[in-house]
Amino acid sequence: MTERKARVAVLVSGGGTNLQALLDAQAAGVIRHGEIALVIANKQDAYALRRAEAANVPARVVLRKALGSQQAFEEAIARALDDEGIDLIVLAGFMAILSQWFTDRYSGRVINVHPSLIPSFCGEGYYGLRVHQAALARGVKVTGATVHFVNEVPDGGPIILQKAVRVYPGDTPEKLQLRVMKQAEWKILPAAVEMLSKQMAAQKGA
């Protein structure tokens, strides 16, 4: 009996390199028990949308400003997810806030990739390059990336996977960010998606 796959949605805001890593992992058979069925962007011009288009993945843009309130914004995202029968929600470079209404509604089904070894350099104000600036300012010799479940606390949910990355003398935030993406984020996010998709697909098949 062909096991049904978990339906995966990827929420994006910018370049979409983590989305690309997921698409490449799906194409390479690394992600076998999940199918990337929907991309949702909260920015009209997110390059991640071009990546979804190139991979023929349906995409929607949900704009907080146009919808007028955080609740309307989150309800619009929820409607898109529910319309598409999504099982697993992946925040990949997604920069919008999601309230406890959302994280409770999809409890245990939302994961995020953060570019540090949580609990270091995470929480309010730690995102994108700022994470790497803080790691360099602190002088850590090792940093990395974390995939974790999303709850109401920024970067506070249970940790799923982590991968360490060396920091080298002379590293700039940009150089470190790229190394953390290449050596950690783009590896552990697909691995986590496959692991959770396998669990969810088995439940669907049961």
**Cα gap 155→150, rounded to integer Å:** 7
Phi, psi of 116 (to 5 degrees): -155, 175
**Cα gap 121→64, rounded to integer Å:** 27
Q: Which of 4, 24, 78, 128 binds ligand GRF (CB under 6 A)?
A: 128
The answer to whether the beta carbons of residues 152 and 103 sit under 8 Å apart is yes
**Cα gap 32→23, rounded to integer Å:** 11
Q: Which of 39, 98, 115, 197 binds ligand GRF (CB under 6 A)?
A: 115
Of 34 and 115, which CB lies nearer to ligand GRF in the complex structure? 115
**Angle, alpha carbons 79-80-81 (nearest 5°):** 90
Contact segment (CB under 6 A) with ligand GRF among 17-25, 98-106, 163-171, 194-202 equals 17-25
As measured in angstroms, the least distance from the Cβ of 172 to ligand GRF is 15
**Does the annotation count 132 as an active-site position?**
no
Of 80 and 92, which CB lies nearer to ligand GRF in the complex structure? 92
User: With binding defined as CB under 6 A, does residue 93 bind ligand GRF?
Assistant: yes
User: With binding defined as CB under 6 A, does residue 17 bind ligand GRF?
Assistant: yes
Q: Which of 62, 92, 184, 201 binds ligand GRF (CB under 6 A)?
A: 92
Sign of the CA dihedral with 17 first, then 91, 45, and 80 last? positive
Report the residue count for the chain: 206
Contact segment (CB under 6 A) with ligand GRF among 10-18, 24-32, 117-125, 192-200 equals 10-18
| Beta-bridge partners for 88 | 8
Q: How many residues bind ligand GRF (CB under 6 A)?
A: 16
**Cα gap 118→4, rounded to integer Å:** 33
User: With binding defined as CB under 6 A, does residue 190 bind ligand GRF?
Assistant: no
Q: Look up residue 100 and give its amino acid.
A: Q
What are the catalytic residues? 114
Site for ligand GRF, rule CB under 6 A: 12, 14-19, 48, 92-93, 113, 115, 128, 177, 181, 185
